[in-house]
Chain A
Amino acid sequence: MKGYDLLDLAVRNLRQSKLRNGLTTVGISVGVASLVAMLSLGVGLQQLATRRLAGSGLFDTVFVTSRQDFRGFDKEDDAKAPNPEKSPVLDEPARTRITQLANVTEVEPEIRVMGEVVANGETHFGFVTGLPMSARENEAFDNLKGKFFSSDNADEAILLADFAKELDPKNPNALIGQDITLRYGERQALAQEPSDRPQINGGESSASGSGDDFGFSVVRKQQPLRVVGLIDQEPYGGMRTVSRGRIFLPVRTTERLNMAQFTDMRSSLRGGSGKTYMTLTVRVKDPGKVQAVQDAVNQMGFRTFSVLDATKSLRRFFTVLDLFLGIFGSLALAVATLAIINTLVMAVLERRREIGVMKAIGASDQDVKKLFFTEAGAMGFVGGVLGIVLGFAIGKAINFGTGIYLHRHQLPSEPVWIMPPWLVGAAIAFSIVVSLLAGLYPASRAARLDPVQTLKYE
């Protein structure tokens, strides 16, 4: 029998029992909707998490530390790595070598220092963070009030809006364009063995400039800065600093000011190695190249960390979540499958005579089987399409409800339910396949009917 005849007869037969077949089809659509809703929720949550991480600008970033300074949390990794005492120091030559690696676009030191801002005659404490010019692309600057740094060496500052409110509770925006004074600790190298210096010291013998060969002193300094902008949230979601930064300066400015950092205490103990970095932030051209850069830096003997490491466990979590959501979603479809079997078995019983007549006038067993398969497939297709529509409606309701909930908690609304295009096709195909599988038994039962018996029976 030709395809269109098969389809025509199948649709005609399905129309004969509109209510029963309609209910079965609705059952399938509920099953598909449930599956689609669950899987789309999984996809939505995963994308939400990924979006947050991607927006943080951390996906293309590798953090590099010296094994001398930090013992890792991964004992297995540490066992494979060189002896920490023999691993290299993260100094200027190392920074240069990392900069020269393929696909590396930027290597900047991680600078965070304590500071005080003097504004309107009052002093306010805050952490100062150095930002590279590339930070402009970070989502934190999407709602920047004012402008970004004019250069990476400018005496300019961008303040966190909360901090600006602290400085000027009445009109924080008025700070833009105004000058403030930053008070900070400058790290000054010791020229000789310290004896009577009042400052913090930790050297062995003298050195010059920022070499710190013999230790350093911390000297209080002041630097006038112009406030050029305000931002609502900290760049990189605050993940790149241990404490929340409130005052942001161009990274070159922070380097030029030679600000003393917490971690300088560790450097002072080492001695003889010149200026070292506690952490270098390496930006990679493409998130896909992060692993390669990470491997190359590891080869140099440094410890590396990237968000990819964190996302591995995140991806594992979402894979398991998707699996369980899929299983729960499939339960309704499993029930719908039983409904299809029931409907078609009933149809076989009711249409015994018709099947017998069809066989008597020339239908083969295969024709009969195909007819029931087509009926099952048609129900699966219609159920699948309706299921997608229903699932979409459920998803919209979930997003709407979540939006209201987030709004009430004064959080920005974000879609947690996302139906990817592939899921539309996959769900319909899955619905048809499941329906065809459900039609296996009724179809073979119909094909096996003995026409003599069915005609005699009637």
Chain B
Amino acid sequence: MLPFSYEGREGRSGAPLCSFAASNEAQMSSTQGSITTPAVLTECVTRHYPMGDSQILAVDGVSISIEPGEFVALLGQSGSGKSTLLNLIAGLDRPTSGSVVVHGRDLAKMSSEDLACYRRNDVGMVFQAFHLIPSMTITENVELPMRFAEVDRAERAQRSRESLGRVGLGKRLEHRPSQLSGGEQQRVSLARALANRPRLLLADEPTGNLDSRTGEDILNLIRDVSLTMGMTVVMVTHERAIAERFAQRSIFLADGKLVSEEVRA
């Protein structure tokens, strides 16, 4: 298992120097001539925030490539830029420069309506704080993305039952989030993320608010679901052990830059 990374690569004209990380498989397929379209491809992506007179470089010239079906962990300390990078991949934020290409589409060039459509149909998101709507039952929470996707009521009900059944909450359909434990709420969050059958699952510290055992359960669930559904998973975490255990590849960020990569054997 060799980390594949190099820094100081020349970016596009006028773009800052950037770091690059790609899976060995991607490299191999590229060198053999049969190019696989990456699920996620960022090229010299930067995200700067103004802070008074200065600029905060949250993400600073990061290039990564993630293959379809891969389970990748973004690792780093607080403020390393991993969540910002995840938001850029999720289409919640736009890069200052560089490109974020997901399934062949450059998110930077998409309108806000197209980005909403992308988030609705192609991406599922799991948050550290679960972000469930407290006034809705868990079924209604899971149905919410399907409402935006204009899925019919009957199909919505069936799919939400399926999703909740898959995460082990099939018997608590009418409960509200406040009636559930943290782990169960995260399961609902996962069921909601899977509602529109996305190809890409993005998880931002999914175990951050859970005890280690519950966290492990959730990650097992994410891994099982991704394998079953053939989804690409990008997970932000600051726990290296978790990354090593569940992710096929770990990408390390520090100060907004890609510093190294580890591929699990």
Contact = CB atoms under 8 A, between A and B. Distances in A.
Whether chain B is bound by chain A comes out as yes
Interface of A: 1-2, 5, 9, 12, 16, 353-354, 356-367, 451-452, 455, 458
A455 B127 contact: yes
B87 interface: yes
B150 interface: yes
Given A5-B147, A357-B133, A361-B192, A452 B92 contact: yes
B98 interface: no
Interface in B94-129: 112-113, 116-117, 119-121, 125, 127, 129
A360 B112 contact: no
Interface in B123-151: 125, 127, 129, 131-133, 135-136, 144-145, 147-150
Give me the 5 closest cross-chain CB pairs, A-B, nearest first. A362-B120, A364-B116, A362-B148, A361-B145, A357-B131
A178 B186 CA distance: 103
B135 A16 contact: yes
Given A2-B150, A452-B93, A362 B129 contact: no
B87 A452 contact: yes
B150 A362 contact: no
A367 B113 CA distance: 10
Contact of A9 (B92, B112, B145, B147): B147
Q: What bracket does the count of chain B residues touching chain A fall in? A: 20 to 34
A365 B117 CA distance: 11
Q: Please indicate which of the listed interface residues B119, B127, B131, B145 has the most CB atoms of chain A within 10 Å of its own CB.
A: B131
A138 B129 CA distance: 82
B92 A360 contact: yes
B90 A363 contact: no
Contacts of A357: 131-133
Contact of A361 (B113, B119, B129): B119
Contact of B125 (A5, A361, A363, A365): A361
A365 B113 contact: yes
Nearest to A360: B125
A241 B223 CA distance: 102
B196 interface: yes
Contacts, number: 69
Given A1-B148, A2-B150, A359-B92, A364 B135 contact: no
Given A362-B117, A364-B148, 7 more contacts: A356-B131, A360-B125, A361-B125, A361-B144, A361-B148, A362-B116, A452-B92
Contact of B119 (A354, A362, A455, A458): A362
Nearest to B118: A362
Contact of A364 (B87, B117, B144, B145): B117
B117 A455 contact: no
Nearest to A6: B147
Contacts of B93: 452
B92 A362 contact: no
5 contacts: A361-B145, A361-B193, A364-B148, A367-B148, A452-B87
A188 B132 CA distance: 106
Nearest to A13: B135
Interface string B5-19: 000000000000000
B119 A360 contact: yes
Contacts of A359: 92, 116, 119
Contacts of A366: 113
Nearest to B198: A362
A159 B201 CA distance: 98
Nearest to A12: B135
A24 to B, nearest CB: 19
Given A357-B131, A458-B129, A363 B148 contact: yes
A366 B148 CA distance: 11
A374 B235 CA distance: 37
B51 to A, nearest CB: 14
A362 B148 CA distance: 6
A365 B90 CA distance: 16
B144 to A, nearest CB: 6
A356 B145 CA distance: 13
Nearest to A9: B147
Contacts of B132: 357
Given A364-B112, A452-B92, A1 B133 contact: no
Nearest to A361: B145
A353 B113 contact: no
Nearest to A353: B131
A353 B135 CA distance: 13
Contacts of A451: 92
